[in-house]
């Protein structure tokens, strides 16, 4: 691993440190400077020439700031003659801007993918993109990991004899089915319609949830409107116990408080793809680490091994 260099942006330092611990390589230093006119400048403080460079930065709030820092890191690595540059984005916020669903609307996911490529990214490593089509936005090799193994390991310690996995919508049903298969449980799905902005309506649940312990699985929780809607419906359908699980716990604008306000949710389980220092002492949330999975993917990319084994847990 002597030819590897791992750098981290401001939002990715803790995550990158966890990766480097498993890789047994140092986290290389970098410097972010803000000028008087509010422009940013990045300097990589380790030799990159002919190195395999991995730049770790989740695209999370403040999204524009963190994205710009990543682009500048890529430009600096390219200017320093890096042999290959991989953008490691545990969370990619612009994945939600994935289609033209209104007149004259921008498709941010595709635009940002093009920006990364133009800046000099040779490869992308990420986790659980919000929609399948986002993967195709990137014009460079892209490895998309998922956290089903980590989530399944966590829930497998419980008594699952009366458990059903529930997807809040049909779009996530395939992932929920794979997760249920890993746990050996039935699966159900909600029929969701997004009304406007963050407003959603879930009219029915397809599957038996009455008297069942339910694990609601979604790819991310932002404002929590989808989770609140499905929890309300499950409560009315007679679910016995409700837990919530997701990969990306964005939990913005008081989402966690709103989700827990009903008194029906026993807890929320998410991963550390979105940094949350404020959740460390919150017993309502369990945060699972996925840095080891990213570290193994980095090791395989660097050594030319297949990465597919890391994300083929029943999900294609």
Over range 99-104, report the average pLDDT: 84
Buried b (16+ CB within 10 A) or exposed e, 8-47: bbebbbebbebbbebbebebbebeeeeeeeeeeebebeee
pLDDT for residue 314 is more than 70: no
The tokens of 208 are what?
Answer: 């038996």
Q: What is the pLDDT of residue 132?
A: 81
Active site residue 192: yes
pLDDT per residue over 207-264, tens digit each? Answer: 999 999 999 999 999 999 999 999 999 999 999 999 999 999 999 999 999 999 989 9
pLDDT per residue over 42-60, tens digit each? Answer: 999 999 999 999 999 999 9
Class of domain 4-147+292-310: alpha beta
Termini Cα distance of the chain: 30
For residue 204, what is the enclosing H or E element?
strand 199-206
pLDDT for residue 198 is more than 70: no
| Cβ–Cβ under 8 Å, residues 116 and 110 | no
Q: What is the pLDDT of residue 233?
A: 92
> Residue 1's pLDDT band (boundaries 50, 70, 90)?
low
Q: What is the pLDDT of residue 100?
A: 82
* Residues, the chain: 316
> For residue 1, how many other CB atoms are within 10 A of its CB?
12
The tokens of 109 are what?
Answer: 């996911």
> Residue 316's pLDDT band (boundaries 50, 70, 90)?
very low
| Cβ–Cβ under 8 Å, residues 86 and 54 | yes
Q: What is the pLDDT of residue 243?
A: 98
Q: Do domains 4-147+292-310 and 148-288 have the same CATH topology?
A: yes
Of residues 201 and 306, which shows the higher confidence score? 306
| Residue ranges covered by each domain of the chain | 4-147+292-310, 148-288
pLDDT per residue over 118-167, tens digit each? Answer: 999 999 999 999 888 898 899 999 999 999 999 999 999 999 999 999 99
Query: Of these residues, 83, 99, 100, 192, which one is catalytic?
Result: 192
Instruction: State the average pLDDT for the chain.
Output: 92
Q: What is the pLDDT of residue 308?
A: 84
Q: Is 81 helix (H, G, I), strand (E, B) or coil?
A: coil
pLDDT for residue 195 is more than 70: no
> Residue 204's pLDDT band (boundaries 50, 70, 90)?
confident
Q: What is the pLDDT of residue 138?
A: 94
pLDDT per residue over 271-299, tens digit each? Answer: 999 998 888 789 999 999 999 999 999 99
CATH placement of domain 148-288: 3.40.50.2020
> Residue 30's pLDDT band (boundaries 50, 70, 90)?
very high
**CA-only gyration radius of the chain, Å:** 20
């Amino acid at each position: 691993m002597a030819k590897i260099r791992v750098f981290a942006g401001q939002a990715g330092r803790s995550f990158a440190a966890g990766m480097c611990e498993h890789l047994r390589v140092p986290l290389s230093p970098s410097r972010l400077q803000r000028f008087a006119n509010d422009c940013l400048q990045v300097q990589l403080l380790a030799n990159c020439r002919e190195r395999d460079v991995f730049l770790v930065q989740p695209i999370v709030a403040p999204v524009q700031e963190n994205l710009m820092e990543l682009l500048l890191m890529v430009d600096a690595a390219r200017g320093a003659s890096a042999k290959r540059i991989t953008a490691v984005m545990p969370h990619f916020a612009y994945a939600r801007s994935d289609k033209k669903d209104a007149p004259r609307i921008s498709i941010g996911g595709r635009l940002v993918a093009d920006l990364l490529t133009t800046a000099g990214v040779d490869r992308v490593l990420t986790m659980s993109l919000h929609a399948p089509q986002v993967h195709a936005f990137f014009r460079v090799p892209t490895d998309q990991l998922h956290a089903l193994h980590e989530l399944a390991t966590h829930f497998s310690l419980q008594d699952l004899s009366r458990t059903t996995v529930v997807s809040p919508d049909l779009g996530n049903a395939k992932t929920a089915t794979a997760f249920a298969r890993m746990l050996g449980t039935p699966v159900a799905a909600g029929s969701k319609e997004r009304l406007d902005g963050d407003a959603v309506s879930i009219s029915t649940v397809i599957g038996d949830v009455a008297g069942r312990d339910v694990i609601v699985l979604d790819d991310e929780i932002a404002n929590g409107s989808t989770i609140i809607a499905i929890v309300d419906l499950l409560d009315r359908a007679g679910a016995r116990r409700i837990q919530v699980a997701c990969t990306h716990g964005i939990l913005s604008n008081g989402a966690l408080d709103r989700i827990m306000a009903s008194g029906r949710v026993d807890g929320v389980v998410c991963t550390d793809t979105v940094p949350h220092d404020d959740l460390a002492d919150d017993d309502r949330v369990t945060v699972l680490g996925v840095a080891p999975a990213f570290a193994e993917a980095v090791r395989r990319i660097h050594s030319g091994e297949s990465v597919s084994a890391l994300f083929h847990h029943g999900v294609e």
